[in-house]
A = this chain, B = another copy of it.
Amino acid sequence: MSEYVIAVVGATGAVGTKMLKMLEESILPISRVKLLASKRSAGKELTFKGEKVAVEELTADSFLGVDMALFSAGGGISERFVPEAVKHGTVVVDNTSYFRMDPNVPLVVPEVNEVALMNHKGVVACPNCSTIQMMVALEPIRKAFGLTRILVSTYQAISGAGARAIAEAKREFMEILNEGVSPKEVVAEILPVTSDKRHFPIAFNALPQIDVFAKEDYTYEEWKMINETKKIMEDDSLKVSATCVRIPVLSGHSEAIYFEVEKSGVTPQEIRYCLKKASGVILEDDPKTQTYPQAVNSVGRKETFVGRIRKDLDEEKGFHCWVVSDNLLKGAALNSVQIAESLHRLGIGKERKKSNCFKES
C-alpha cells in the first residue's frame, strides 16, 4: 500500500494544529507531512509523531509531490491556492466556506454522505462546524423516519472564531473578575467578526451574530447552516432555519434543535434507539440522572453527543433535542481528516484527475 504525502495549509492556526494531531491519530498511511502557512509563520517547528517538522511558506509551488492537502487558512487563501494544488494533481480537502456551495465540489460528512466523494473533481469541502454536528445527529433520524423541517438555535464556542478570539475572551473575563471592570465596559477588538465594523465583549454576554449579515437579515453563518444542510441531505425541499449565537464557552458548540419527521407515530424512544446505533453519535439522555450533553465534556472528544430528546407538545411529528460536539475536532479538523481517510478507503485519494473542477486559465 503506497503512502501519502499530506500538506496542511494553515498549519499553525487553531484548526491546523488540531489537524496535525488528528493526522497523528489517523489510520492513514502517511510518508510525510508538509506544513504550510504564511511567511510570518515560516521556520516555526511543529511536532508530528515525535519528529520536528519546519513550517514552510505557502506558495503556488508548494504542492509539487503532495497527494492530499487539508486547507484551513481562510476563504481567501483557499480561493487563491486550491486551484494551484489541484493543478499539481493534489486532492484537496478544504475546511473553508469558499467551495462549499460549488456544484462541482462534494460537501461531505463521512458518516452522512461518504458516497458523494465518488464524484470529486480534485476538491472536497468540509462543512461548517455547526452544520457538521447537526448532520451527524439528524441523518440517522432522516434515514429512519424522514425529515421535513429543522429549526436550530446555536450556542457556539469562542474557539470557532480562532485563537485571537480566545485570547480576547480570557482577557475580558480577567478584567471583569480580577480588576472589577463592568462587563459592558470591557473593550473588544475581535468578536463578533474581526472584519466587521463594530466589536462587542463576549465575557458574560451572548452575541446573536456569527459572521457578517447577509440577505434577508440572516447572518452568513445562518445561511451556511441552511444551505449546507440542504446540499448534504440532498433535499432542497427540506425546511431549515437557524439563529446562530456566540456564548462564553471556550470550545464545544451546543445546539437546541427542533425537527419534524415525515412518518407519523414516531416515539422519542424510537429516536433514541436509532441514535444509539448511529455512527459517531453518543446518546446522553436520561433526565432521571440529569444526563445530557455539556460543552465542557465534549472537548477533546471525537463524537457528537445528543440528549434532551422529547416530543413537541403540539406538533405530532415534531421533536426537540440538544446536540453538542467539539467544534475544533468533529466540527473541523477531525472531519477533514475523516474525509481524507474515506478518500483513501475508497481508493480515490491519489487520483490525478485529468479534468478537474477548475477551468484552465
Choose among B196, B205, B243, B290 the residue that contacts A256 (Cβ–Cβ < 8 A): B243
Size of the chain A interface, CB-CB below 8 angstroms: 64
Question: Known contacts A226-B313, A239-B315, A311-B216; is A290 also within 8 Å of B198 by CB?
Answer: yes
Instruction: Tell me whether B197 and A149 are in contact (CB under 8 A).
Output: no
Instruction: Tell me whether A217 and B296 are in contact (CB under 8 A).
Output: no
Question: Known contacts A217-B310, A254-B206; is A247 also within 8 Å of B155 by CB?
Answer: yes
Residues of B within 8 A of A241 (CB): 258, 312-314, 318, 320
- Name A206-245 residues within 8 Å CB distance of B: 206-209, 213, 216-218, 226, 239-241, 243, 245
Choose among B184, B216, B258, B295 the residue that contacts A297 (Cβ–Cβ < 8 A): B184
Secondary structure of the A side of the interface? mixed
Question: Known contacts A248-B249, A294-B205, A297-B184; is A151 also within 8 Å of B258 by CB?
Answer: yes
Residues of B within 8 A of A196 (CB): 290
Q: How far is the CA of A241 from the CA of B293 in the complex (A)?
A: 20
Distance between A222 CB and nearest chain B CB, rounded to angstroms: 9
Question: Known contacts A290-B209, A296-B201; is A239 also within 8 Å of B314 by CB?
Answer: yes
Q: Which residue of B lies closest to A155 (CB)?
A: B206
Instruction: Tell me whether A184 and B149 are in contact (CB under 8 A).
Output: no
Choose among B198, B206, B307, B315 the residue that contacts A249 (Cβ–Cβ < 8 A): B206
Residues of B within 8 A of A258 (CB): 151, 241, 258
Q: How far is the CA of A314 from the CA of B173 in the complex (A)?
A: 40
Instruction: Tell me whether A243 and B149 are in contact (CB under 8 A).
Output: no
Instruction: Tell me whether A296 and B204 are in contact (CB under 8 A).
Output: yes
Residues of B within 8 A of A322 (CB): 208, 243
Residues of B within 8 A of A293 (CB): 208
Judged by a CB distance under 8 angstroms, whether A347 is at the interface is no
Residues of B within 8 A of A218 (CB): 310, 313
Judged by a CB distance under 8 angstroms, whether A250 is at the interface is yes
Q: How far is the CA of A124 from the CA of B204 in the complex (A)?
A: 33
Residues of B within 8 A of A287 (CB): 213, 217
Instruction: Tell me whether B217 and A308 are in contact (CB under 8 A).
Output: yes
Interface string of A240-267 (1 = CB under 8 A from B): 1101010111100010101000000000
Distance between A233 CB and nearest chain B CB, rounded to angstroms: 14
Distance between A258 CB and nearest chain B CB, rounded to angstroms: 6
Residues of A within 8 A of B (CB): 149, 151, 153, 155, 170, 173-174, 177-178, 183-184, 192, 196-198, 200-201, 204-209, 213, 216-218, 226, 239-241, 243, 245, 247-250, 254, 256, 258, 268, 287-290, 292-297, 299, 307-315, 318, 320, 322
